[in-house]
Amino acid sequence: MTTAREIMSPNVTCVGENETLADAARKMAELDVGSLPICGEDNRLKGMLTDRDIVVKAIAKGRNPADVRAGELAQGKPVTIGADDDTSELLQTMAEHRVRRLPVIDGHDLVGMVAVADVARALPDRPVGDLVDAISS
């Protein structure tokens, strides 16, 4: 069976937990992405930050993105997939948590990211259709 490592995008840019939301927004714009993993000083994944998080949890509440640290928005344990987990587990995790992107970890190290587009390129139509239906409803 295909593993997460085989279909992931290996080049992942993090926003540091002590970087500001303004820094994160600039990185998102430069990379043309809507989310970034939040990485700690210990190089461990602390959470995910989305463009929506910046708008809803900071700007809409009158907070200045230049003053809010990314780590302040890292809540709970991030949903991840192991690098050597197979795609059936990956699909189940994405559907269960209704996420379009999953950080891929090897031990405690962030080694990549799997997006729905990666899944669509790697797997037959039926599982992909079921996944899209599960995360979109």
Give tens-digit pLDDT for 27-42: 999 999 999 999 998 8
pLDDT for the residue numbered 29: 97
Task: Work out how many domains the chain is built from and give that number.
Answer: 1
pLDDT band (50, 70, 90) for residue 128: low
User: CATH number, domain at 57?
Assistant: 3.10.580.10
Best-predicted range by mean pLDDT (37-41, 62-66, 75-79): 62-66
Length of the chain: 137
**What is the arithmetic mean of pLDDT over 94-123?**
88
* Nearest CA-CA partner of 37 in 79, 66, 3, 67: 79
Q: Specify the pLDDT at position 108.
A: 85
pTM confidence score = 0.83
Residue 136, exposed/middle/buried by CB under 10 A (0-12, 13-18, 19+)?
Answer: exposed
Domain that holds residue 49: 4-136
